[in-house]
Amino acid sequence: MNENRILPCPYCDTLNRVPSSKPAQDARCGRCHKALFEGHPVALTTRRFDAHARAQDIPLVVDFWAEWCGPCRGFAPTFEAAAREFEPRVRFAKVDSDREPELSQRFQIRSIPTLLMMQGGRELARVSGALPMSELRRWIGAHLPQ
């Protein structure tokens, strides 16, 4: 039996049916034809957020950040490196808390950077603060759905 995974496109948010037998890193969007994974976090707006957060077949790690935040800027290269390391098992996204206050309020973000891991619209885990790569790896690994 050939099971399919439903993966949102990081560019146009179209839900794509990708056979489990096909490597996800090779998958392209059926609508815009861009790669579904490129090893970079996706910048999400309030409008685009739910298409990715509600995905059942892939966890989403979201970095709530702001341009003026020194720890956020310092953490950005670590988060980028994690995207390269963990995709396509995990999707990585960034939400600018100043530009998307509705999302910050919805998730009760009180400090930045704050990371959320979500899947199927549910929050699985949360951590605040700029983590070193070893801590980020451990946090992701501890909360990945089996």
Structure token pair of residue 27 = 């998958």
Q: What pTM was computed for the model?
A: 0.94
pLDDT greater at residue 110 or residue 3? 110
* CA 9 – CA 70 distance, rounded (Å): 30
pLDDT greater at residue 2 or residue 62? 62
* CA 91 – CA 41 distance, rounded (Å): 7
What's the whole-number mean pLDDT along residues 51-62? 95
Structure token pair of residue 11 = 């560019």
Which segments of the chain does DSSP mark as H helices, in order?
46-53, 70-86, 101-106, 133-143
Give the tens place of pLDDT for each residue, 96-131.
Answer: 999 999 999 999 999 999 999 999 999 999 999 999
Extents of the domains making up the chain: 38-143
Structure token pair of residue 142 = 């501890």
- Count other Cβ atoms within 10 Å, centred on residue 132: 10
**Which residues partner with 16 through β-bridges?**
7
* CA 15 – CA 12 distance, rounded (Å): 9
Confidence of residue 2 (pLDDT cuts 50, 70, 90): low
- Helix (H, G, I), strand (E, B), or coil: what is residue 46? helix
CATH superfamily of 38-143: Glutaredoxin (3.40.30.10)
Enter the DSSP assignment of 41.
P
What's the whole-number mean pLDDT along residues 77-84? 98
pLDDT above 90 (res 25): no
What is the predicted pLDDT for the residue at 146? Answer: 78
* CB of 144 closer than 8 Å to CB of 90: yes
Active centre residues (catalytic): 69, 72
- Count other Cβ atoms within 10 Å, centred on residue 105: 10
